[in-house]
Amino acid sequence: MSKPAARTPTLEDVARVAGVSRATVSRVINGIRNVDTEIQEAVRKAIQATGYTPNQAARSLVTRRAGTIVLVMAGAPGQGEEFATQVFADPFFGRVAGGVVSFLRNHGIHPVLMLAETDKARAEVVDFLKRGNADGALLVSTHPEDPLPRLLTDAGLAAVLFARPARPVPISYVDMAHQAGAALAADHLVARGCTRVATICGPLDVPAAQDRLSGFREAMARHGFPYIPIAEGNFTQESGEAAMSRLLSEHPDLDGVFAANDLMAHGALLVLQKNGRQVPEDVALVGFDNSGPALTSRPQLTTVVQPLEEMAAEMARILLEQIESPERPPRSMIFDPTLIIRQSA
Name 304's Cβ contacts closer than 8 Å, sequence gap at least 6. 181, 182, 184, 185, 286, 287, 288, 289, 290, 337, 338, 339, 340
Which stretch of 16-30, 68-82, 104-118, 130-144 has the lowest confidence by average pLDDT?
68-82
Query: Of 339 and 28, which is predicted with more confidence?
Result: 339
* Report for 72-81, 88-97, 142-151, 180-189: range of highest mean pLDDT: 180-189
User: Computed from CA positions of residues 273, 278, 283, 285, in that sequence, does the dihedral angle turn out positive or negative?
Assistant: positive
Supply the pTM of this predicted model. 0.74
pLDDT band at 221 (very low <50, low <70, confident <90, very high): very high
- Find the mean pLDDT for residues 15-22: 88
Nearest in space to 129 (alpha carbons), one of 289, 280, 319? 319
Residue 196 has pLDDT above 70, yes or no: yes
Nearest in space to 71 (alpha carbons), one of 131, 44, 111, 101? 111
Q: In what order do the strands lie in the sheet with 338-340?
A: 230-232, 197-201, 256-259, 284-289, 302-305, 338-340
pLDDT band at 182 (very low <50, low <70, confident <90, very high): very high
Q: Superfamily for 68-176+309-335? A: Response regulator (3.40.50.2300)
3-class secondary structure per residue, the chain: CCCCCCCCCCHHHHHHHHCCCHHHHHHHHCCCCCCCHHHHHHHHHHHHHHCCCCCHHHHHHHHCCCCCCEEEEECCCCCCHHHHHHHHHCHHHHHHHHHHHHHHHCCCCCCEEEEECCHHHHHHHHHHHHCCCCCCEEEEECCCCCCHHHHHHHCCCCEEEECCCCCCCCCEEEEECHHHHHHHHHHHHHHCCCCCEEEEECCCCCHHHHHHHHHHHHHHHHCCCCCCCEEECCCCHHHHHHHHHHHHHHCCCCCEEEECCHHHHHHHHHHHHHCCCCCCCCCEEEEEECCHHHHHCCCCCEEEECCHHHHHHHHHHHHHHHHHCCCCCCCEEEECCEEECCCCC
What pLDDT score was predicted for residue 191? 96
- CA 330/CA 172 separation, integer angstroms: 5
- CA 5/CA 171 separation, integer angstroms: 50
What pLDDT score was predicted for residue 77? 52
Architecture of domain 178-305: 3-Layer(aba) Sandwich (3.40)
* 178-305 matches 68-176+309-335 in CATH topology: yes
Name 291's Cβ contacts closer than 8 Å, sequence gap at least 6. 91, 92, 95, 261, 262, 263, 308
**Would you list the domain boundaries of the chain?**
11-63, 68-176+309-335, 178-305
Nearest in space to 144 (alpha carbons), one of 125, 163, 121? 163
- Find the mean pLDDT for residues 231-239: 92
- CA 41/CA 271 separation, integer angstroms: 59
Dihedral pair phi/psi, residue 217, rounded to 5°? -60, -45
Which stretch of 14-18, 28-32, 93-97, 188-192 has the lowest confidence by average pLDDT?
28-32
- Find the mean pLDDT for residues 206-224: 94
Nearest in space to 209 (alpha carbons), one of 171, 239, 188? 239
What pLDDT score was predicted for residue 61? 41
User: Computed from CA positions of residues 83, 263, 231, 307, in that sequence, does the dihedral angle turn out positive or negative?
Assistant: positive
- CA 309/CA 265 separation, integer angstroms: 21
Which stretch of 52-66, 77-91, 133-147 has the lowest confidence by average pLDDT?
52-66
Q: Please say whether the beta carbons of 35 and 27 come within 8 A.
A: yes
Which stretch of 39-48, 49-58, 119-128, 213-222 has the lowest confidence by average pLDDT?
49-58
What pLDDT score was predicted for residue 286? 97
User: Computed from CA positions of residues 212, 214, 217, 221, in that sequence, does the dihedral angle turn out positive or negative?
Assistant: negative
Which of these CATH numbers, 3.30.2350.10, 3.40.50.1980, 1.50.10.10, 1.10.260.40, describes 11-63? 1.10.260.40
What pLDDT score was predicted for residue 54? 61
